[in-house]
Structures are given as C-alpha cells and as structure tokens.
Structure 1
Amino acid sequence: MSRREYTIRLVCAHEGCRESTYTTASTRREEAETRATYRKDPYRCYRHSRPDEVLSVDNPVRHTIVVSEGKPYGNFWDRQGLVSGPGFKAICNDFPPGTKLIVTARIELPSEESL
C-alpha cells in the first residue's frame, strides 16, 4: 500500500499577487512543519523574491558576471560546471580559472508605429 502525499498550496505573500506553487509532504507532521515554516517566512514568487532580477519596462537590461573558479576536481561557474541559456552553453572546464562569463539580457519593446 502506497503512502499518501499531502499537497500544500503556497500563494505569494506580496499584496495583490496571485502566483502560487505547490509542494508535497509525505506525513502530516512534515505538512505541519512546512506550513509553520511558511507562516514565519512567507512564500514569495520569483517576481517578488528578487524583483531587481525580473526584466520589465522599467528594468529592460540585466548583466550578470560569473568568474570561473579552479577546484581540484574541475572548474566551476558559481558552483556549476555548465551554464546555459537561450542560445548559449558555456562548459567551465573549456576555459582557464579566472575566466569571466558575462551574460546580458535586454528587452526591446516594439515601436509605437508597429502597435
């Protein structure tokens, strides 16, 4: 007989936001502990947990720089051996330690004529 899972719906604590996420607990005790944790430190969606990282009309450009670190077991970009995004992949072991990976994201809004 399989054990029951308890689904916990968490709604973003930012006023007016309706974003939500779900997590599961395998016991009632774990469910109660999870709910107690989120009462003390309420869930915030990615838009409201790090608003400066979200691209918007008011924040159309973001730059991120990570520097590779050489470890005895390989090179890493901020604890990751591979960083990827739309249109690129960077494998840290392909570069010497100290290499900078600079990622830029920019939003370009349509011109008024095209609307």
Structure 2
Amino acid sequence: MMNYIAIEEFCQHYGVEVRLIQEFANFGLVRLHTNQDRQVIPASEVKQLERMLRLALDLDLNPEGIDVILNMRQEMQRLRRKTQRLQNRLRRLEQERHWNLLEGPQSRGFIVDVGE
C-alpha cells in the first residue's frame, strides 16, 4: 500500500504555493495522484520534492534548471556506483595477483632468478 500526502498539507508545511508543485508536475518532475478529489503526492517522492524546493527557492531555478540539476545528480550517483564497482574489482584482481605471486614457482620448490 502506497502512502500519500495531500498537496495542500505539503505546501502549508513548506510555505509554498500549490501552483509551484503543480508546475513541477506539469514539467514531469513529480507525479501527482488524485485521491478522493484531492491532489496527493506519493510519500516516496517527498524527499525528491524537498530537493526540488531547495533548488527552486534557494537558487531561484525554474523547472528546466531543476531537471538538469537532478539529472546531473543522478548521473553522478551512477558514475560513483560504477567507480566503486571498478575499484572493488581492481582490489580483487590485485589480491589474486598477490596470492598468485606467493603461490608461484618459488613455493613449489623451483629456483627463480629474480635478477638484480
């Protein structure tokens, strides 16, 4: 079951006009639903909507600017996750290489000339 928050309550809490949230919805930044003849916001989108409000109010960004910033943020998060996966893979490969060197020919009784 999905929880919802009435737009009027959200706007009253944050001191913004309903029109602003509707503008975000018209631009596709937030999904609005109708429940008992009231427009509501999925509770799961409140955090993102709070972020949009900060961008709109603190930085005076329009919906287009907010969309750009949110997309860049999402891309940065994707790149961070990819970087972390690559770092983890590199760490595993380095560990395997280290163990292969330790278990290499010298550990099997072979004489290895490491040179000077």
> Which TM bucket (shorter chain)?
under 0.3
Specify the structure having the higher radius of gyration (Cα). 2
Q: What's the TM-score once normalised by structure 1's chain length?
A: 0.23
Q: What's the TM-score once normalised by structure 2's chain length?
A: 0.23
| Structure with the bigger percentage of helix | 2
